[in-house]
Amino acid sequence: MPISLVRVPVDALYEFTYTCFTAMGVSPEEAAYCTRGLMHSELRCLPGQGQGVRRLPVYHERISKGYITPGAPFEIVKESPALALVDGHNGLGSVVAQKSMELAVQKAKISGIGTVIVRGSTHFGSAAVPALRAVEQGCLGVAFTNAGPEMAPWGAASGVVGTNPWGIAAPTGGAFSVVLDIALTTAGKGMMQWHAREGMKMPLDWALTPDGEETDDPEAAMKGALLGIGQHKGYGLAMLTDVLTGVIAGGGFGLAPYSNPAQQDVSHTMIAIDIAWFMPLAEFTARMDRFIGDIKAAKKRPGVTEILVPGEVDHRREQEYRAHGAHLDSVIFDQLQELAGKLGITFPFDREEVA
């Protein structure tokens, strides 16, 4: 049966999320970073993707158990005009990632390109969030992270590499930036859980059973390993993402990230490219707009009414939610209400079912 959704005002959800973080003992500065990250995901991702405010109870649990350290040092271990190595000291991943991109932008403004590689971090949410921090400063933004070993190498039956998401963002002259925000698996376990709750089968190229067999049963798939996008290609990209993050950072890679709940050992790489080093920003955005126009003018396949560019659907979803309210899974709504009670804060929402 369809999953019930609850409508909540975006501004109130933002304030509630921020208040939750401060009630968990997170500083106002770090709470603002984390709230920006969760709200971006909540407004732009599908509810089944496992991002957004549904992660507030996870943050509460991990902070309460000492698995994440609010206020951890942002240590620049080594740096040059264009490069830096950062140790996140098990801090809030969203904070570490965004600060690392801000540092990469500073270096890009000096050297044309800035690269910051991070070790000792934790889950950072949507890769688009740090990538877009670069766009805000007139740069191209590239964000990589590794993750827990959920993806099976091509031909294997068990997970060794992560979903290892990418975020790549570029400014345009239009209403939204072009943003590629993807994991390197065909789907994640959040979408499988969504299919299981709705009693739906899933595509065969999403995951394997624990025995290494393809399956369309999401319940069986959640016990097995995920499959990469494009078969062997996704696995190859995921492996090399581990090289570009954990291996070169001196941090966790492959089987290591999340193997110890108290030391997640996640690594990131942030790259900012200063557009003004190459050409005026206005010229770049005009060229981007022309490129987008060419894409949208392409001959369409039968039954297709519109060709979209990366980030366009997400932008439309965000605008819809801002105008009419975000859609929360009713189960998540209940969990947030329970969390508010634990934190001793007001839960400001009425249960308004989405028709």
Residues 125-138 pLDDT 10s: 999 999 999 999 99
In a domain, 319, yes or no: no
Percentage of the chain lying above the pLDDT 90 cut? 94
Asked if 120 and 251 sit in the same domain, the reply is: yes
Taking only the tens place, the pLDDT of each residue in 171-206 is 999 999 999 999 999 999 889 998 998 899 999 999
CATH number, position 139: 3.30.1370.60
Give strand pairing partners of 208.
Answer: 214
- pLDDT score at 313: 96
The residues, any chain, with a CB within 8 Å of residue 257's CB and separated by 6 or more, are 146, 147, 148, 149, 162, 246, 264, 265, 266, 267
Same domain, 13 and 81: no
CB-facing half-sphere around the CA of 266: CA atoms within 13 A: 29
Look up the CATH number of the domain holding residue 220: 3.30.60.50
* 197 and 263 both lie in a single domain: no
What is the reported pLDDT for 1?
59
pLDDT tens for 20-42 read: 999 999 999 999 999 999 999 99
Segment 209-227 shows an average pLDDT of 95
Specify the number of domains making up the chain. Answer: 3
Q: Read off the amino acid at residue 343.
A: L
Question: How high does pLDDT run on average in the chain?
Answer: 96
Residue 19: give its domain's CATH number: 1.10.1530.10
- Please indicate, yes or no, if residue 306 is contained in any of the structural domains: yes
Arithmetic mean of pLDDT, 251-278 = 97
Domain containing 22 equals: 1-65+325-355
- Going by the DSSP 8-state scheme, the letter that residue 315 receives in this structure is H
Task: Collect all residues with Cβ–Cβ distance below 8 Å to 338 and sequence separation of at least 6.
Answer: 57
Q: What is the pLDDT of residue 124?
A: 96
The last residue of one of the domains, among 199, 225, 251, is 225
Average confidence (pLDDT) over 147-155? 97
Residue 202 shares a structural domain with residue 60 = no
Reduce the DSSP state of residue 99 to 3 states and report it: helix
Whole-structure pTM value: 0.95
Q: Give the E-state strand segments of 171-329 in sequence order.
A: 178-182, 266-274, 326-329
What is the structure's pLDDT at 3? 83
Question: 249 and 112 in one domain?
Answer: yes
Residue 116, in any domain of the structure: yes
Q: Are residues 88 and 128 in the same domain?
A: yes
Backbone dihedral angles phi then psi of residue 52, each to the nearest 5 degrees: 90, -160
Claim to verify: residue 89 and residue 147 sit in the same structural domain: yes
Q: How far apart are CA 183 and CA 144, in angstroms?
A: 10
pLDDT in tens, 33-85: 999 999 999 999 887 777 899 999 999 999 999 999 999 999 999 999 999 99
Q: Are residues 208 and 274 in the same domain?
A: no
Say whether both 141 and 257 belong to one domain: yes
- What confidence score (pLDDT) does residue 328 get? 94
The whole-angstrom separation of Cα 75 and Cα 189 is 33
Count Cβ atoms below 10 Å from residue 309 Cβ, excluding itself: 18
Burial 76-114 (b: 16+ CB within 10 A, else e): eeeeeeeebbbbbbbbbbbbbbbbbbbbbbbbbbebbbb
Bridge-based pairing of strands 83-87 and 113-121 is parallel
The answer on 42 and 106 residing in a single domain is no
| Average pLDDT rounded to a whole number, residues 227-250 | 97
- Do 178 and 218 share a structural domain? no
Q: Which residue has the higher pLDDT, 104 or 190?
A: 104
Compute and round to an integer the Cα radius of gyration of the chain. 20
Phi/psi of residue 130, each to 5°? -65, -35
Residues 6+ apart with CB under 8 A from 42: 13, 51, 52, 53, 321, 326
With cut-offs at 50, 70 and 90, classify the pLDDT of residue 229: very high
Region 341-351: mean pLDDT is 96
